[in-house]
Amino acid sequence: MNILYDERLDGRLPQRSKDEVVAELSRSIPDLNLLHREEDLRPFECDGLSAYRVLPMLVALPETLSQVEALLKQCNRLKVPVVTRGAGTGLSGGALPLEQGVLLVMSRFNRIVHIDPEARIARVQPGVRNLAISEAASLYGLYYAPDPSSQIACSIGGNVAENAGGVHCLKYGLTVHNVLAVDILTIEGEHMSIGSQALDSPGFDLLALMMGSEGMLGVITEITVKLLPKPETAKVLMASFDDVEKAGAAVGAIISAGIIPGGLEMMDNLAIRAAEDFIKAGYPVEAEAILLCELDGVEADVNDDITTVREVLESAGATDIRLAKDEAERARFWAGRKNAFPAVGRMSPDYYCMDGTIPRRELPRVLKGISDLSRHYGLRVANVFHAGDGNMHPLILFDANREGELETAEALGGKILELCVEAGGSITGEHGVGREKINQMCAQFNHLEIATFHAVKAAFDPQGLLNPGKNIPTLARCAEFGAMHVHDNQLPHPEIPRF
Amino acid sequence: MSDQRFPTQDALDSLRAQVRQASENESPLRIEGGNTKAFYGRPVAGETISTIEHRGITHYDPVELIVSVRAGTPLAELEAALASEGQMLAFEPPHYGPGATIGGTIATGLSGPRRPWSGAVRDFVLGVRLLNHQGQEHRFGGEVMKNVAGYDLSRLMVGAQGTLGLITEVSLKVLPKPGACHSLRLDISLTEALSQLAKWGQKPLPLSAATWHDGALHLRLEGGPSSVADTCRMIGGDSLDNAYWEDLREQQLPFFQQNDMPLWRLSLPANTAPLEIPGIDAESLIHDWAGCQRWLHADVNTGTLRSICAQAGGHATCFTPDKLPESAGPFTPLEPMVAKYHDRLKEQLDPQGIFNRGRLYAEF
């Protein structure tokens, strides 16, 4: 099923002529940079999920808060939908434009407003790159913990919108655990500060509600993040396995030993080969799976933990265990993992990155299921996996120039996500639902739960103008989607507990 | 895996029936668990709905670091089950009495001394099951560490004090207990303590609690045996009984006892200087959470106290609201814009105002 906005399933969108909107916005906000010619709009037609492209009606590139405020007020008055985007690195189509909508690009809000090393916080604008925060904080021996693989390019506003993660999440948490406050503008153009520099605020946890809300409840204009002291040391072990299942079991054994690694990542043979071919990380290309286990903290503790983890890995049947001998080798080990996506991209004209989570114990069963599905659909799948927290990233290799192959990849991706839900997991761990997984939301949530999500949306955006069609499917879409997957009004695999 | 030592009981049907009845009659409900935190908030009029019969660990997988537990389960039972696997609730929730339940822990959202280093209740909530205003069961989040599908209604329930729905079950992330724990007492001044904590905070030290009161800084070090021993040597001071932290958390220290004046909890940004509150000696406060959570007994003007906290970027909560004039309210009033969206959320999620009406604020 095509994931582009379908008014029949996703709801009618207001119809305003482009000329009218351009004229109104130009008149009321004369200093706002508006793009409306097709050649100017073309660079903005997709985010990181580039298989799907839509030319927005127009693009607004504000530089001041008052411009954003005025833009939202006008769009609210004219009933024109607003899709907000930052660096556009999102992988679930969360910032996919709408033909009838304004694309609000926040990339010019790229200032680090203030760093307070003693309070260990940074106030930043939404367009600041994730890595730039850690770079600025490193002067004080501090850093910002969540580290999506795209951290060199992705913006913190988008991280908040998608509740982004990364390899450090098991120990240091997702974006939701590392943000203290956000300022937002509502669709009515009103300012609201949520959270504070204190560790809690009176009332409901609206801050948690904003995290991962995909630009549907408000436009984020400033973010206060927590900074952490840089660990004194970080060391990484690489363990090779001749069997994926053994590698999966080793993950559980490490945690059972009472150790929470700073990062615990797994790659299968296809991903290992791709990364090695691209980065020359020194990976064992014959291994069926490798585990990268990073231990960070105070030097003495890290050395103790390395001894323990080595013993655990040996008992778990690792065929080879290597400790990165210096910082350069440690960086190389991680470079292979962090570049696994582009590395896999070199093996195939296109790839489609999935993002499901499962309980770790289900890993062998789910990997086998993916392998069966891969054979059934005739497309190769490489697996990289945040093993510590059960977040899988199967990469489906395909060629969009071959008739029907994109659709096959989509169908295979959908099946993989449903497999994750069936195993007790979720259709997304850190990339968000966006437009990509809108149908699979109907597999994870029933109609009552989806109605409650719509109730939350209605509290913040009664006219449904902020990023319509993302994150939460309409019940009409679920009914349509259900026609393919739901039997006798039952969810797929009703016998399996989903909680 | 469930722990056979403790009784389990599924009372979902009767809870559902009671909510449905209340919905049909449009009559308000007052949610109660162990009734240990009833003092915390505004009084609620309504028929009592008790979660106490809905109890037991439904799923505990130590390897996955996950536990799912029914709302009425005594906190002490949950903690005992985790301890037998060498694990813990890292947010160290206060009990305030032997009957404390996990449902009340989530609903009130209170965290203990480890909070600035480990995170709050909400940081460990992975999923909830709840009954909505029509008695329909909803599941949000789940039993996996990462889940960003849909809006985060699980965390929205934390601290909402039951005003948005009846929590029936919760899934939590648990953590291994640290390998070593040692507490210290240093006789240093408040100013010196706050400045030292700001410096230590920028270093990767194994700190897990830091409280100044009674003329001394009290510290807890937790982590690997080597780093705890090294840090003890570096900091010096006298050894302190680890039981101190439980006394602090449970408000059993002499400070909390026998005082007729209202008890206030101030929540402030890190590195906030000692506050100048009229008639109050800054050294009479307990400065917990490395200064981010402060306790004081004071018969001061509520508005003045709240405005002093607001100027510092924080807020003030009264833990003995019965000692305040009714108009004052235990919780800091919300900014008008924030209040507007609270009203709208309540209207959307509990349109008949059945659940704990007025518990947080008179308006909802």
Q: What is the pLDDT of residues B194-208, one digit of tens each?
A: 999 999 999 999 999
SS3 B341: helix
Sequence-separated (6 or more) residues with CB below 8 Å from residue B253: B213, B244, B247, B286
**Nearest Cα to Cα of residue B106 among B90, B87, B124, B118:** B124
How far off is chain A from B329, nearest CA to CA, in Å?
A: 12
Contact at CB, B142 and A452, closer than 8 angstroms: no
Q: Is B216 on the interface with A (CB under 8 A)?
A: no
The answer to whether the CB atoms of A499 and B68 lie below 8 A apart is yes
Encoded tokens for B266: 């101030």
Spatial separation of the C-alpha atoms in residues B303 and A347, rounded to whole Å: 66
Q: Write out pLDDT tens, residues A260-286.
A: 999 999 999 999 999 999 999 999 999
Decide: A225 and A289 in contact? Cβ < 8 Å: no
CATH of span A7-105: 3.30.43.10
Helix (H) or strand (E) segment spanning residue A449: helix A447-460
Q: What's residue B317's pLDDT?
A: 98
State how far the Cα of A397 lies from the Cα of A268, in Å rounded to an integer.
Answer: 14
DSSP state of A59: E
Q: Do A212 and B151 touch (CB under 8 A)?
A: yes
Looking at chain A, which residues constitute the CATH 3.30.70.2190 domain(s)? 233-342
B145 contacts in chain A (CB < 8 Å):
169-170, 357, 388-391, 429
Taking the CA atoms of residue A205, residue A206, residue A207 and residue A211 in that order, the dihedral angle to the nearest 10 degrees is 120
Q: Do A425 and B122 touch (CB under 8 A)?
A: no
Subunit contact B204:A194, Cβ cutoff 8 A:
no
pLDDT category of residue A137 using cuts at 50, 70 and 90: very high
Give chain A positions within 8 Å (CB) of B232: none
Paired strand residues for A35: A59
Residue A24 confidence (pLDDT): 97
* Residue A482 banded pLDDT, cuts 50, 70, 90: low
Domain boundaries, chain B: 8-177, 180-323
- Cross-strand bridge partners of residue B288: B293
Give Cβ neighbours of residue A23 (< 8 Å, ≥ 6 apart).
none
CB A76 within 8 A of CB A187: yes
The pLDDT of residue A481: 76
The chain A residue lying nearest B290, using CA atoms, is A119
Domain A349-422: assigned CATH number = 3.30.70.2740
* Among A259, A252, A239, residue whose Cα is nearest residue A303: A259
In this predicted structure, the answer to whether residue A490 has a pLDDT above a threshold of 80 is no
Contact between residue A442 and residue A477 where contact means Cβ atoms under 8 Å apart: yes
CA distances from A180 to A4, B149, B203 (A): 35, 21, 20
Question: Is any Cβ of chain A less than 8 angstroms from the Cβ of B226?
Answer: yes
Q: Chain A partners of B156 at a C-beta cutoff of 8 Å?
A: 204-206, 208-209
Q: 3-class SS at A267?
A: strand
Please check whether residue A158 is in contact with residue A90, taking contact to mean a CB–CB distance below 8 angstroms.
Answer: yes
**Which pair of structure tokens corresponds to residue B180?**
């070593």
Q: Which of residues 88-127 of B touch A (CB under 8 A)?
A: 109, 115-116, 119-120, 122-123, 127
The predicted pLDDT at position A486 comes to: 39
Flag whether pLDDT at A498 surpasses 90. Answer: no
Q: Indicate the pLDDT class of residue A492, thresholds 50, 70 and 90.
A: very low
A179 contact partners, CB below 8 Å, separation of at least 6 = A160, A195, A207, A211, A223, A224, A225, A226
Task: Find chain B residues with C-beta within 8 A of A460's C-beta.
Answer: 341, 344
For B175, the closest of A201, A260, A425 (CB atoms) is: A260
Residue A242 CB burial class (10 angstroms; 0-12, 13-18, ≥19): middle
Q: Is the pLDDT of residue A495 over 70?
A: no
- Cα separation, A131 vs B176, in Å, equals 30
The residue among A345 and B307 whose pLDDT is bigger is B307
**Which CATH number does A112-229 carry?**
3.30.465.10
User: Measured between CB atoms, which of B204, B271, B349 is closest to A232?
Assistant: B204
Question: Over the stretch A361-408, which tens digit does the pLDDT of each residue have?
Answer: 898 889 899 999 999 999 999 999 999 899 999 999 999 899 999 999
Using CB atoms, pick whichever of B123, B156, B339 lies closest to residue A177.
B123
The residue with tokens 């029914």 is B70
Class of domain A233-342: alpha beta
Q: Does B150 reach chain A within 8 Å, measured CB to CB? A: yes
Count residue pairs from A and B with Cβ separation < 8 A. 276
Give helix A244-256 / helix A363-377 axis angle, nearest 10°: 150
Of B140, B202, B349, the CB nearest to A455: B349
Verify whether the Cβ–Cβ distance A203 to B348 is below 8 Å. no
Q: Which residues of A touch B209 (CB under 8 A)?
A: none
Predicted complex ipTM: 0.97
Distance from CA of B200 to the nearest CA of A (A): 9
Interchain contact, B149 vs A389, CB within 8 Å? no
- Residue B7 contacts A, CB cutoff 8 Å: no
Query: Tokens 């069997």 map to which residue?
Result: A243
Q: How far apart are CA B203 and CA B238, in angstroms?
A: 22
Q: Measured on CA atoms in the order B61, B171, B173, A243, is the torsion positive or negative?
A: positive
**All residues at 6 or more sequence positions from B65 whose CB lies less than 8 Å from its CB, including other chains:** A255, B87, B145, B173, B174, B175
Mean pLDDT of chain A: 93
Q: Supply the pLDDT for residue B7.
A: 86
* Cβ–Cβ under 8 Å, residues B102 and B170: yes
Phi, psi at residue A87, to the nearest 5°? -75, -15
Q: Are B350 and B358 in contact (CB under 8 A)?
A: no
Contacts of A431 in chain B (CB under 8 A): 148
The minimal CB distance from A230 to the residues B145, B153, B204 is found for B204
Identify the residue whose tokens are 């505990």.
Answer: B60
For testing contact with chain B, the best of A217, A298, A420 (most B CBs within 10 A): A298
pLDDT in tens, chain B (364 residues): 556 678 899 999 999 999 999 999 999 999 999 999 999 999 999 999 999 999 999 999 999 999 999 999 999 999 999 999 999 999 999 999 999 999 999 999 999 999 999 999 999 999 999 999 999 999 999 999 998 999 999 999 999 999 999 999 999 999 999 999 999 999 999 999 999 999 999 999 999 999 999 999 999 999 999 999 999 999 999 999 999 999 999 999 999 997 899 999 999 999 999 999 999 999 999 999 999 999 999 999 999 999 999 999 999 999 999 999 888 999 999 999 999 999 999 999 999 999 999 999 999 9
| Residue A429 to chain B, least CA–CA distance (Å) | 4
pLDDT of A496 strictly over 70: no
B148, A212: Cβ pair inside 8 Å? yes
| Minimal C-alpha gap between A120 and chain B (Å) | 7
Residues in chain A within 8 Å Cβ distance of B149: 426-428, 433, 437, 441, 444-445
Q: Is the pLDDT of residue A1 over 70?
A: no
* Each residue's pLDDT tens digit, A423-462: 999 999 999 999 999 999 999 999 999 999 999 999 999 9
For residue A135, what are the contacts with CB-CB under 8 A and spacing of at least 6?
none
Judge whether B194 is closer than 8 Å to chain A, CB to CB. no
Cβ–Cβ under 8 Å, residues B266 and B275: yes
| Residue B73 contacts A, CB cutoff 8 Å | no
Question: Tell me, what's the pLDDT at B1?
Answer: 53
What pLDDT sits at residue A82?
A: 98
Q: Which of B63, B160, B267 sits opposite A256 (nearest CB)?
A: B63
- Chain B residues inside the 8 Å CB shell of A190: 337
Using alpha carbons, select from A73, A69, A31, A75 the residue that is nearest to residue A57: A75
- Angle at A212 (CA atoms; ends A94, A205), nearest 5 degrees: 155
List the single residue in B145, B231, B267 with the smallest CB-CB distance to A390. B145
Residues of chain A positioned with their CB less than 8 A from the CB of B203: 141, 229
Chain B residue at shortest CA distance from A165: B146
In CATH terms, B8-177 corresponds, of 3.30.360.10, 2.40.170.20, 3.30.465.10, 1.10.357.10, to: 3.30.465.10
Indicate yes or no: CB of B151 within 8 angstroms of CB of A431: no
Domain with CATH 3.30.43.10 in chain A: 7-105
CA distance A362 to A43: 41
The label of the residue with tokens 């195939």 reads: A348
Percent of chain A with pLDDT over 90: 86
Q: Which of A170, A203, A232 sits opposite B338 (nearest CB)?
A: A203
Q: With 80 as the cut, is the pLDDT of residue A499 above it?
A: no
The answer to whether the CB atoms of B86 and A358 lie below 8 A apart is: no
Gap between the Cα atoms of A10 and A470, Å rounded:
9
* Burial degree of A321 (CB within 10 A; 0-12, 13-18, 19+): middle
| 8 Å CB contact of B142 and A389 | no
Nearest to A432 among B148, B198, B341 (CB): B148
Cβ pair A438, A469 in contact under 8 A: yes
Nearest Cα neighbor of A478 from A12, A10, A4 is A10
